[in-house]
Amino acid sequence: MLQEHIRNIAIIAHVDHGKTTLVDQMLKATHAFRENQQVQERVLDSNDQERERGITILAKNISIEYKDVKINVIDTPGHADFGGEVERVLKMADGAVLLVDAAEGPMPQTRFVLSHAIAANLRIMVCINKIDREGANPEKALNDCLDLMMDLGADDDQLEFAMEHVVYASAVNGYARLDPDDGNTDMYPLLDMIVDALPAPDVDVDGPLAMQCVTVDHSDYVGRIGIGRIYSGTIHAGDKILVVKNDGSRAMSQVKQLFTFDYLGRKECTQAEAGDIAAVVGLDSTDIGDVYTDPENPVELDPIEIDPPTLSIIFEPSTSPLVGREGDIVGGRQLKERLEQERENNVTMRIEETPDKTGVEVAGRGILHLSVLMEQMRREGFEFQVGRPKVLFKKDENGNKLEPIEEAVVECPNECSGKVIEVFGNAGGTMSNMSAGIQQTHLEFHIPTRGIMGLKTRIMNVTHGEAVFYHNFLEYGPFAGEIGGRQNGAMISMSTEKAVAYALGTLQERGQLFVAPGDECYEGMLVGERSKPGDMVVNVARTKQLGNQRSSTADIAVQLTPPRTFTLEEALEYIMEDELVEVTPKSIRMRKRILSETERRKWRVRNGLVNK
């Protein structure tokens, strides 16, 4: 039975192609806001980091009403590090709007999200966005989309549907058109096509209850909230239901509260029917993949597999000499409690205490995935330190070592392609595809996740900042052998003092500095990078010896190059095995694990790294 009053659609696209802006305009077109209401841009990117980074991190559900049809809209992340969100939430949809930039065309992560939509057998309509952008070529972008769908194995019905259902839009200007030049100035052609063309849920309203949890929300007041689509039957507040876990275990539970989505919020209701998306409160320790079903006529649904993490980082309490100066929360107990709370909320991460109880190991899908958590914690006032990200290896049935392999795509100027290939070769990458255009070269590589770390900086250096670089997890493949790390040595502070311009003036001749005059430094802290291999201990607080024949004010002004600054992701990629990143609410510092040079030398002798 078709539920004609409901449409469940997902909006899928590459990072920064305009998904969230498009949803804003759909909300405005369906009068979700009062006429005089002040609304921020990208209203669905409610998280501070989402707004600052300009990316969607968490998949979100909203609903809008148009022509007496309830449209449940799922805004998905476009970044591969948050791919675990995309795979699951597409199970709630019957159709998808593929959003593509009219100038850029399909990009690497377009392939990633589109492949999941095709695998889920969704009906896909194409929306060519940013048609007002300079260099826009809507016709080419559409043809490239259709070619990509063929490459990804779309069947004839999906291809035919996509060819017949195309909308041209400028989300930022608030219009959608059936023809790029027809002069329409509102979003109604897009909404009409969603209602008229995308399929309604085909479900059995009178059958036994079957609902699957695909997203878990968390409330400090009611605990875990299971969100998912109802495939058959009707669920009521107060119902006794059977909860079937992914491992087959079963338990009885009661629905305490029931919500459906209503524009940007949730609306409490007494019942929800098949075809709708609902949020259920009261099911203890509910998890991704749980099936809520009728105890007397249980329905079986396929379990949901979450892609395994590929990288892990160990969080430890800070042991820096400057600990407690910038953050309010520095204790190991509070750090563990915060990460245990994250484990409740974030099912895409694996969070476990280390065997020696000194830290907590957090495993995720990539450095960005992990750094988003760190950034959130430092904003909450935490101070902590983390080691170098470690790749999570596997073994196949024959005992062979496997490691995560990434698919990396680079678009760079033609004259830089040779240097890019060389950089990938040194990092253990192998080229899988190359196509040269008039000005740009498109390169594709398969490269171990270990080799990705620090690669973006090197690519930007050899292409003078003109490259576009994306990567996403491909598969677990054979271990690729040793991959060289950082080539240059570090400059390490020998004392705990503030940096002085005179000392930095002499040190900048030896390499690149990370600190400026007046910055707090401590023994063992990385203050710069040498231009040669091998670490060097330096004095950043050395001042000029003054005789009585000249005063300090008559000294020659020191000309300093601005220091190199690191984002959290860049610092994590930069450090070596014996180094740590110290994270505070105000600073990101890199340091040696063993701060004392004498102790570091003893450690190297004990481990046979130098001659006695």
Alpha helices in 106-262 (DSSP H): 108-119, 138-151, 156-164, 188-197
For residue 464, how many other CB atoms are within 10 A of its CB? 10
What would the two tokens of residue 65 be?
């009403």
How many residues can be counted in the chain? 612
- Orientation angle between helical segments 108-119 and 138-151, nearest 10 degrees: 50
Q: Give, for 102, the enclosing helix (H) or strand (E).
A: none
Maximum distance among all Cα pairs of the chain, rounded to whole angstroms? 99
Q: What is the 3 state secondary structure string of 7-39?
A: EEEEEEECCCCCHHHHHHHHHHHCCCCCCCCCC
Residue located via tokens 């002798």: 605
Instruction: Give the residue ranges of the annotated binding site for GTP.
Output: 16-21, 129-132
Element (H, E) at 183: none
Rounded distance between C-alpha atoms, residue 232 and residue 235, angstroms? 9
The alpha helices in 407-545, defined as continuous H runs, are: 417-426, 449-452, 455-462, 501-507
From CA 517, how far away is CA 520, in angstroms rounded?
Answer: 9
Give me the numbers of helices (H) and strands (E) for the chain, helices first please: 15, 33
Q: How far does CA 182 lie from the centroid of its chain?
A: 37
Judge contact between 385 and 62, C-beta under 8 A: no
Q: Which residues pair with 412 in a beta bridge?
A: 441
CA distance 441 to 415: 9
| One-character DSSP codes across 523-564 | TTBEEEEESSSS-EEE-TT------TTS-GGGSPPP--PPPP
Residue 591 CB partners (closer than 8 Å, separation 6+): 320, 385, 522, 524, 525, 526, 579, 580, 581, 582
Q: How many CA atoms lie within 13 A of 85 on its CB side?
A: 23
- What b/e readout covers 51-63, taking b as 16+ CB neighbours within 10 angstroms? eebebbbbbbbbb
- Rounded distance, CA 518 to CA 122, Å? 58
∠38-44-48 over CA atoms, to 5°?
Answer: 90
- The DSSP secondary structure of 581-593, one letter per residue, reads EEE-SS-EEEEES
Terminal alpha carbon distance of the chain: 80
Question: Are 579 and 526 contacting, i.e. CB atoms less than 8 angstroms apart?
Answer: yes
What whole-number distance in Å separates Cα of residue 237 and Cα of residue 259? 9
Q: Residues annotated as binding site?
A: 16-21, 129-132
* Cα gap 252→292, rounded to integer Å: 10
Question: If DSSP codes are grouped into helix, strand and coil, which group holds residue 599?
Answer: helix
